Amino acid sequence: MKKTYYITTPIYYPSGNLHIGNTYTTVFCDALRRYKDMRGYDTYYLTGMDEHGKKIETVAQERNLHPIKHVDEIAEATKALWDRMSISYDDFIRTTEKRHKTVVQKLFEQLLDQGDIYLGEYEGYYCMHCEAFFTESQLEEGNACPDCERETSKLQEESYFLRLSKYQKKLLNFIEDNPDFITPETRRNEVLNFIRQGLNDLSVSRTTFDWGIKIVSNPKHVVYVWIDALSNYISALGYGTDNDELFQKYWYGDEVVHVVGKDILRFHAIYWPIMLMALGIPITFKLHAHGFYTAKEGKMSKSKGSVVYPDTLIERYGLDELRYFLLRELPYGGDGVFTPASFVERINYDLANDFGNLLNRTVSMINKYLSGKVASYSEASTEYDADLQTMCKETVATYSDYMDNLKVSEAIKTVWAFISRTNKYIDETEPWILGKDKNKKDELENVLYHLAESLRHIGVMLQPILLDASQSLFKQLGIPQALRRYETLSFGELREAEVVRKPSPLFPRLDQEKEIDKLTKHLRGEEEEPVPEEEDNLATFDDFTKLDMRVAKITKCAPHKNADKLLVLQVDLGEGKERQIVAGIAKHYEPESLVGKKVVVVANLEPVTLRGEKSEGMLLAGSNDDILEVLTVDRLNPGDSVS
């Protein structure tokens, strides 16, 4: 029987589009899940959305939508994002689903009946963002929330409480007896210190708003959003229902891992275990809290325009490039910084130069010197061979150890050290010199075999990280399916292979300066700057005819959710399918006033994503110091050409 592995991400708040922070956790869990699959585990990956609470209700109100409409939209967009990112989740739980609500209501009543939850009164300061109460002494200056530094408001209300104090000792003992329950160790110590200061009972219901799960025995209360949210890890498995097979299999299985960011450690390390203890459910999970991605200037902030969204990065640079960066740049236990320069440099140095070039050179040389065929294995004959083989073996062991211990960045670094070693092997063995001497054919075969076999190992180890590149490597080297499996990682397993005639670069090199500049501007929400006009910078007739300008009818138009200056338009170009265009004209037009207008569009511009919205074309407009006017036409029809 296979061992089981159940891994979860936090369920994210649908307060806006997800950024690279949430993306990191999701990709991190995806890589671990794929790794465990490769190691022969029976795996289950859960993610989802945390859709209740005052904060979500407020965001929906601001958008003039019923909360359910708002969360439906974001949940769909999130699933679409995960699909685009090939996230291998098995279930996407939403806390507004009936299957979840029923479980939460049931467990709340159970805790109430048992006396672990009781009715009392709360007086304190409430932070809407964190959905948490604080006492006056806990507040920062200006009555600010100690967690997020936003302003809190004073509240007094009837509330249910969970008896944390009753379980304090038991929890402390549990954490002390299970040194690997919380990782990294620094986080574990934080939790221990916090508990040792003493736990106050936790307010677990709210009466000041509606958007939540009602308490069955007293429906003027809704369940506190964290009690609601934490329960997802078992409600999704069917806990407490007639169909709890998944719960029996995975919760009581071999490994259960909750991955969270450091911001929500306390909820998972204190409230969740205490809820489980009170419910009589064993704490089978391990908790891993990772660090945060920040911008260069510090915390990513919407108002400063430093929040990075994954969409453009994937579209312009590729999924593997983003996965690699995210997983590599955040060290175990630490934080990471996203800057356009570090992102572009990682692509060029690590992916294109070190890794991509190694494959490219190897395939080219096997074609040039051995007519495309990798010869069968012969024993290590030089010290270089021996050294490479030893390092290959050690790399597999270290990589596996790191992955087993959730040290994904460290695992990747280990593989890259081996990539560097393999590149060095080419310099040491100089196959181009061996190729000139007919008597050195055996030696040359041996060298190229060593390169191909090393690359096979690299490809297998990178399968959970680089989804397309690892498969392309196998294809280009002609590695059969059977030898792409982890169990075959032993130097010499590769017998023979036929490489492709023409290697294709795994990662195209980027024009570094240009891309850093482009990305920086994009993140700031600035449109591409026009090329400065110079006197001798005349456009040729050919330049002009390259532009495909057409009439388009605007069918819909709305403000861009993440940028004040932009409007998002749907246009009909007579293509049978509408296109979306993002235009920087929000200061000059009310969105509705444009609907129905026939405008001129450059239809063959390279598509771009502006603040998360795809734009497939450009509107023509004229301007002077006072006005900006979109060019419109009268008698022409959508699709008619303009020249």
3-state secondary structure of 392: helix
Name all contacts of 331-335 with Cβ < 8 Å and 24+ positions apart: 331/291, 331/409, 331/410, 332/184, 332/290, 332/406, 332/407, 332/408, 332/409, 332/410, 333/184, 333/186, 333/187, 333/291, 334/291, 335/291, 335/292, 335/293, 335/294
Residues 195 and 165: beta-carbon distance below 8 Å: no
Work out whether 21 is an interface residue with ligand ME8 (CB under 6 A): yes
Nearer to ligand ME8, 232 or 398 (CB): 232
Q: Which residues pair with 120 in a beta bridge?
A: 159
Residues touching ligand ME8, count (CB under 6 A): 19
Task: State which of residues 292, 332, 377, 486 lies at the interface with ligand ME8 (CB under 6 A).
Answer: 292
Work out whether 10 is an interface residue with ligand ME8 (CB under 6 A): yes
**Shortest distance (Å) from residue 397 CB to ligand ME8:** 29
Q: Choose one: 258-266, 478-486, 535-543, 628-636; the region binding ligand ME8 (CB under 6 A).
A: 258-266
Contacts of 550 (CB under 8 A, 6+ apart): 573, 574, 600, 601, 603, 638, 639, 640, 641, 642
Nearer to ligand ME8, 250 or 491 (CB): 250
Work out whether 6 is an interface residue with ligand ME8 (CB under 6 A): no
Nearer to ligand ME8, 22 or 205 (CB): 22
**Shortest distance (Å) from residue 356 CB to ligand ME8:** 28
Structure tokens at 443: 């030696």
Nearer to ligand ME8, 205 or 446 (CB): 205
Nearer to ligand ME8, 60 or 352 (CB): 60
C-alpha neighbours within 13 Å on the C-beta side of residue 227:
31
**Shortest distance (Å) from residue 603 CB to ligand ME8:** 38
Residue type at 606?
E
Q: Choose one: 107-115, 193-201, 292-300, 384-392; the region binding ligand ME8 (CB under 6 A).
A: 292-300
Task: State which of residues 300, 426, 469, 621 lies at the interface with ligand ME8 (CB under 6 A).
Answer: 300
Centroid of chain to Cα 11: 13
Nearer to ligand ME8, 228 or 572 (CB): 228
Site track 45-84 with ligand ME8 (rule: CB under 6 A), x = hit:
-----x----------------------------------
Residues 552 and 631: beta-carbon distance below 8 Å: no
Q: Choose one: 4-12, 118-126, 540-548, 584-592; the region binding ligand ME8 (CB under 6 A).
A: 4-12
Instruction: Dihedral sign for Cα 356, 359, 365, 367, please.
Output: negative
Centroid of chain to Cα 474: 25
Q: Which residues pair with 40 in a beta bridge?
A: none
Work out whether 12 is an interface residue with ligand ME8 (CB under 6 A): yes
Nearer to ligand ME8, 13 or 41 (CB): 13
Work out whether 613 is an interface residue with ligand ME8 (CB under 6 A): no
Nearer to ligand ME8, 186 or 593 (CB): 186
**Shortest distance (Å) from residue 483 CB to ligand ME8:** 36
Work out whether 310 is an interface residue with ligand ME8 (CB under 6 A): no
Distance, CA of 86 to CA of 23 (rounded, Å) = 12
Q: Choose one: 21-29, 112-120, 157-165, 468-476; the region binding ligand ME8 (CB under 6 A).
A: 21-29
Closest to 527 (Cα-Cα) out of 621, 632, 625: 621
Task: State which of residues 5, 6, 24, 250 lies at the interface with ligand ME8 (CB under 6 A).
Answer: 24
**Shortest distance (Å) from residue 596 CB to ligand ME8:** 39
Distance, CA of 304 to CA of 412 (rounded, Å) = 32
Task: State which of residues 77, 148, 172, 264 lies at the interface with ligand ME8 (CB under 6 A).
Answer: 264
Distance, CA of 185 to CA of 182 (rounded, Å) = 7
**Shortest distance (Å) from residue 588 CB to ligand ME8:** 35
Distance, CA of 80 to CA of 96 (rounded, Å) = 19
Closest to 427 (Cα-Cα) out of 498, 475, 357: 357
Name all contacts of 115-119 with Cβ < 8 Å and 24+ positions apart: 115/163, 116/162, 116/163, 116/166, 116/278, 117/160, 117/161, 117/162, 117/163, 117/204, 118/160, 118/161, 118/163, 119/158, 119/159, 119/160, 119/161, 119/218
Nearer to ligand ME8, 10 or 253 (CB): 10
Nearer to ligand ME8, 21 or 464 (CB): 21
Q: Choose one: 16-24, 39-47, 574-582, 630-638; the region binding ligand ME8 (CB under 6 A).
A: 16-24
Work out whether 293 is an interface residue with ligand ME8 (CB under 6 A): yes
Work out whether 261 is an interface residue with ligand ME8 (CB under 6 A): yes
Q: What are phi and psi of 204, to 5 degrees?
A: -120, 20
Task: State which of residues 25, 96, 235, 409 lies at the interface with ligand ME8 (CB under 6 A).
Answer: 25
Nearer to ligand ME8, 230 or 573 (CB): 230
Q: How is residue 606 annotated by DSSP? A: P
Nearer to ligand ME8, 13 or 325 (CB): 13
Kindly identify the residues of this chain, within the stretch 117-176, that bind ligand ME8 according to CB under 6 A. none
Mark out the alpha helices in 129-209 (DSSP H runs).
164-177, 185-196
Task: State which of residues 4, 6, 7, 11 lies at the interface with ligand ME8 (CB under 6 A).
Answer: 11
Work out whether 263 is an interface residue with ligand ME8 (CB under 6 A): yes
Distance, CA of 618 to CA of 539 (rounded, Å) = 19
Kindly identify the residues of this chain, within the stretch 187-246, that bind ligand ME8 according to CB under 6 A. 229-230, 232
Nearer to ligand ME8, 74 or 551 (CB): 74
Instruction: Dihedral sign for Cα 181, 183, 188, 190, please.
Output: negative
Residue type at 289?
A
Distance, CA of 390 to CA of 418 (rounded, Å) = 11
Distance, CA of 252 to CA of 273 (rounded, Å) = 15
**Alpha-carbon separation of residue 549 from 250, 337, 461 (angstroms):** 57, 41, 48
Distance, CA of 555 to CA of 565 (rounded, Å) = 20
Nearer to ligand ME8, 22 or 414 (CB): 22
**Shortest distance (Å) from residue 260 CB to ligand ME8:** 5
Nearer to ligand ME8, 260 or 581 (CB): 260
**Shortest distance (Å) from residue 207 CB to ligand ME8:** 21
Question: Under the rule (CB under 6 A), what is the footprint of ligand ME8?
Answer: 10-13, 21-22, 24-25, 50, 229-230, 232, 260-261, 263-264, 292-293, 300
